[in-house]
Amino acid sequence: MSKILVAGGAGYIGSHTVKELRKQGFDVVVFDNLSTGRREFVRDAELIVGDLEVKDDIRSAFKSQNIAAVLHFASLIQVSESYIHPRKYYTQNLTSSLNLLDEMLEAGVRNFIFSSSAAVYGIPKQIPIPEDHPLDPFNPYGQTKFFVERILQDYDRAYKLKFISLRYFNASGADPDGEMGECHDPETHLIPNILLSVLGRKENLDIFGTDFPTPDGTAIRDYIHVTDLANAHVLALQKLMASPRSEFINLGTNRGYSVKEVIARAEKITGKKVPVREMPKREGDVPVLLASKDKAERLLGWKLRNSEIETIIETAWRWHRK
């Protein structure tokens, strides 16, 4: 039976997607260098420890397996770090994608699901953001996602590679069974940082920016539960394999919460006060980011199940407490 190769399948979103793929009966092989991923997150799939920067590692994975499609999650993801070390971001995010695509095409595999980001849009000119919004990323991280999307379009034209590029908004929450969750090092994301501060593992929760043009002055984001993201990947894969056609699709909820609103809900759920400290805004943070989810619903038949903000915080809290 042919398998689905999941690059970065030991990471946060990748591991949740592997679980969902297995539930839907797909045979999965994870390819991960375990630099940020965790071996214990790969529960029900074969794990190949390999590096996307080493073409021989990828080639032997394709040689030893019968691969029908590839999902690519492996990437550096910290916007602030990408400003300080753009070289690292361009090198790793681009070469890993180029190597993977190259070896896929060598092996005759032409179905590809890419983890892209709302960062490709840059400063929103329209809210909620539709997929045909102009692309104008301004941080190096977003540029790397944008460049890979451009490469995918060229490879489609020239080599008939078929892809679905999924543009994530704010991935959050944890596996409702408590098997996996979000744990980056260093942690930069809002919800885990709130929970770490409540648990006393971080002294303060820094609120980055309190003078945005929003009702309470803090930035508004579109938080989407990681299992809803995972489910969208499975639907995208099924769609691509049934009718190969390349697409760009947002994954978000079209609902937003400000930093202060998320904190208030987290205080209610945990029953604890968040030790906040008001700080200047981070470089590149925009006031509001909201996804139009119409295309995902229409094209994939996608339905949100776990993306209520309370469910997101509750599942994350269960995971973090553990």
Q: Which residues are catalytic?
A: 141
Q: Whole-number minimum distance, CB 212 to ligand UDP, in Å? A: 8
Q: Whole-number minimum distance, CB 81 to ligand UDP, in Å? A: 12
**Closest to ligand UDP by CB, 31 or 319:** 319
Q: How far apart are CA 111 and CA 122, in angstroms?
A: 27
Q: How far apart are CA 43 and CA 250, in angstroms?
A: 28
Element (H, E) at 69: strand 67-72
Work out whether the CA dihedral 274, 276, 225, 3 comes out positive or negative.
Answer: negative
DSSP 227-275: HHHHHHHHHHHHHHHHS---EEEEE--S--EEHHHHHHHHHHHH-S---
Unique residue bearing structure tokens 């949100």: 304
**Closest to ligand UDP by CB, 55 or 282:** 282
**Closest to ligand UDP by CB, 285 or 297:** 285
**Closest to ligand UDP by CB, 27 or 285:** 285
Q: Whole-number minimum distance, CB 118 to ligand UDP, in Å? A: 8
Residue nearest to ligand UDP (CB): 219
Q: Whole-number minimum distance, CB 148 to ligand UDP, in Å? A: 18
Binding site for ligand UDP (CB under 6 A): 79, 170, 188-190, 193, 205-209, 219, 221, 259, 282, 285
Unique residue bearing structure tokens 């915080």: 313
